[in-house]
Amino acid sequence: MGGLTPAAIRAACRAGTWSRPTAGLAPSFAQANLAIVPRDWAYDLLLFCQRNPKPCPLLEVTEPGSPEPVTAAPGADLRTDLPRYRVFRDGELAEEPADIAHLWRDDLVAFLLGCSFTFEHALVRAGIPLRHLAEGRNVAMYRTRVGTQPAGRLHGPLVVSMRPLAAADVARAVQISGRYPAVHGAPVHVGEPAALGIADIRHPDYGDPTEVRAGEVPVFWACGVTPQAVAVAARVPLLITHAPGHMFVTDIPEESLAAS
């Protein structure tokens, strides 16, 4: 699958021949987090994203009822072109289907948000190793005691991802990830987990634990789980997301997201 175009990967998802995580696929194209809500909730979610751009870097918002992301992947269908979905009803996980055609309604609005894969690729290209990738595990994520800016009915804490870096690599990692504001940008916090309210770095709230070794500093980026977590907490009547790691592969070249 590694050599396929984004369109070919989406077609494989649509045909049901690809249903696994998307890490490593079409590596020079941006992948996206998906969150679908009814139009009645779309204003609150859009405003939440505007007020919290680091955890919620919007790549695209569709017109109500349209499943086509006309900018990120013209011709694609967000009802079928991801390998797996999660459906939440009133804040409770209801199903994990392979497509959502049976759930589609004329009032649904899809949000595509930048994904950390893009800045991780840039870090790796610059020679900065990332342990969770080397170990084939999910990144470690934590709920913090840092609040987000609420918007309408949506409010809740910032969720961060953590990557341990050699102290000598921290500054370059800030500069490199900072070039990509559309995929979370520069870290929100460097070192001192306790200042975020993280009591034990060995026990993340989401994903897999990653060891922080002597000489390393835990570096924290705003995480795209944040908007999903606030939508679940607000008990949005219908919320559809990608299944963890099963992202939407866009036609957006990663380098086109570089700010400078």
Query: Which residues of the chain form contacts with a copy of itself (CB under 8 A)?
Result: 42-43, 46-47, 49-51, 58, 60-61, 63, 71, 149, 152, 175, 178-179, 181, 259-260
Helix (H, G, I), strand (E, B) or coil at 244: coil
Number of other CB atoms surrounding residue 238 within 10 Å: 17
Query: Which amino acid makes up residue 151?
Result: A
Nearer Cβ to a copy of itself (13/183): 183
Which C-beta is closer to a copy of itself: that of 42 or that of 239? 42
Residue among 102, 87, 94 nearest 240 (CA):
87
CB of 183 to a copy of itself, least distance (A): 14
Residues 183-194 as b/e (b if ≥16 CB within 10 A, e otherwise) read: bbbbbbbeeebe
Residue 9 or 110 with smaller CB distance to a copy of itself:
110
DSSP states along 128-177: ---HHHHTT-PPEEEEEEEEPPPBTTB--EEEEEEEEEEGGGHHHHHHHH
- CA-based end-to-end distance of the chain: 31
CB of 172 vs a copy of itself, minimal distance in Å: 13
The span from the CA of 237 to the CA of 36, in Å, is 11
Q: Which is nearer to a copy of itself, 43 or 168 (CB)?
A: 43
CB of 125 to a copy of itself, least distance (A): 19
Residue 101 and residue 218: Cα distance in Å, rounded?
A: 41
C-beta of 93: minimal distance to a copy of itself in Å?
28
If the CB atoms of residues 21 and 178 are measured against a copy of itself, the closer one turns out to be 178
Q: Measured from the CB atom, is 91 or 152 closer to a copy of itself? A: 152
Distance of closest approach, residue 252 Cβ to a copy of itself, in angstroms:
14
- 78 or 198: whose CB is closer to a copy of itself? 78
Minimum gap (Å) between residue 97 Cβ and a copy of itself: 28
Calculate the alpha carbon distances from 92 to 38, 52, 78, 87, 233 in Å.
Answer: 16, 24, 22, 8, 9
Return the H-helix or E-strand segment holding 121.
Answer: helix 117-125
Shortest Å distance, C-beta 36 to a copy of itself: 15
